[in-house]
Amino acid sequence: MANTEQLGNAVATSTGASAATSTGSSAATSTGSSAADRAEIGVIGGSGFYSFLDDVTEIQVDTPYGPPSDSLFLGEIAGRRVAFLPRHGRGHHLPPHRINYRANLWALRSVGARQVLGPCAVGGLRPEYGPGTLLVPDQLVDRTKSREQTYFDGLPRPDGTIPNVVHVSLADPYCPAGRKAALEAARSRDWEPVDGGTLVVVEGPRFSTRAESLWHQAQGWSVVGMTGHPEAILARELELCYTSLTLVTDLDAGAETGEGVSHEEVLEVFAANIDRLRGVLFDTITALPPTATRDCLCTKALGGMDPGFALP
Ligand SMILES: [Zn+2]
């Protein structure tokens, strides 16, 4: 994992003003220019995606839900301002069940991001989805246990506001425009993606037992991961577009006959595919619609309902 020094660029670090004031404006302030602190697209992924970009600006953002996994790293790709957030923190110190997902999505929105891409490593639940498969899911199953997964929890926020009771549809959890952009980006790089499928998200950090894995397969689900939930629902509650790009790093325990999944195996396959995944990610970013023209279901998730607090 790269640290700040390894970025090789001038890095402006700033402390963010608290977003707890709920003013509806950006939570982040810095000593740099305001444009450097803003982004229209968010990427939740590690340093392998941004560490070589020119002119990366690092900013710290606080949120009503506590700090996100790490600083935001803002850069530009094909004229689009992008904020990268290392999901597990620099050095990968946060296990999936300890990630502050609410803070992460809130922080991205607070710097201006309205479309979010969430690349992640997954296990394949079918023999044909072997290591190196890129699957862009269209469905999600939550099998997590302990995560804060809503902004509408009915509890007072630091500024004293109490969220209203709001039920958001997650029937189609991913942004259709984002999925289209991701699929086209992969195809243009001769990496034929699997178009659609169900991502089941488990609590982790352990991998599945063979019985659990066989059960997941028997349901017809496609891939299994540990971080795709609650990112999708939290993005939806903030009316953000969210697209998951899953890279299969192993066959899950029920889909293979060996010793089961090892952490080492996962890291190896991820490292071997990081360059082309980054290429697909950047092409996806380029192909995403301009923020002002978004007309997907994500933009109307609240249906005009008052959340009881100001969105950042
Ligand atoms: Zn959308």
Contacts of range 303-306, beta carbons closer than 8 Å, 24 or more positions apart: 305/164, 305/166, 306/164
101-110 and 228-237 helices cross at what angle (nearest 10)? 40
| Structure confidence at residue 259 (pLDDT) | 67
Handedness of CA 48, 70, 90, 145 (dihedral sign): negative
Query: What CATH number is attached to the domain comprising 51?
Result: 3.40.50.1580
Phi/psi for 83 (5° steps) reads: -110, 120
| Structure confidence at residue 28 (pLDDT) | 39
How far away, in angstroms, is 134 Cα from ligand 1 center?
20
pLDDT tens for the 312 residues of the chain, in order: 333 333 223 333 333 333 333 333 333 334 445 788 999 999 998 778 888 788 899 999 999 999 999 999 999 999 999 999 999 998 889 999 999 999 999 999 999 999 999 999 999 999 999 999 999 999 999 999 999 999 999 999 999 999 999 999 999 999 999 999 999 999 999 999 999 999 999 999 999 999 999 999 999 999 999 999 999 999 999 999 999 999 999 888 766 666 667 788 888 888 889 999 999 999 999 999 999 999 999 999 999 999 999 999
| Structure confidence at residue 135 (pLDDT) | 98
Closest CA to 279 of 199, 189, 183, 187: 189
285 belongs to a structural domain:
yes
Contact 245, 127 (CB under 8 A): no
Concerning whether 142 is annotated as a catalytic residue, the answer is no
| Structure confidence at residue 256 (pLDDT) | 67
307 belongs to a structural domain:
no
| Structure confidence at residue 54 (pLDDT) | 82
Query: Which of 37, 70, 252, 283 is labelled catalytic?
Result: 252
Binding-site residues for phosphate, in ranges, read 47, 87-88, 227
How far away, in angstroms, is 175 Cα from ligand 1 center?
4
| Structure confidence at residue 217 (pLDDT) | 95
Binding-site residues, in ranges, read 47, 87-88, 226-227, 250-252
Concerning whether 275 is annotated as a catalytic residue, the answer is no
User: How many structural domains does the chain have?
Assistant: 1
Distance (Å, rounded) from C-alpha 197 to C-alpha 297? 19
71 belongs to a structural domain:
yes
Contact 10, 297 (CB under 8 A): no
12 belongs to a structural domain:
yes
311 belongs to a structural domain:
no
State the residue range of the domain holding 47. 8-22+32-300
Binding-site residues for substrate, in ranges, read 226, 250-252
The CA-atom distances, in angstroms, between 270 and each of 123, 224, 237, 278 are 11, 15, 30, 11
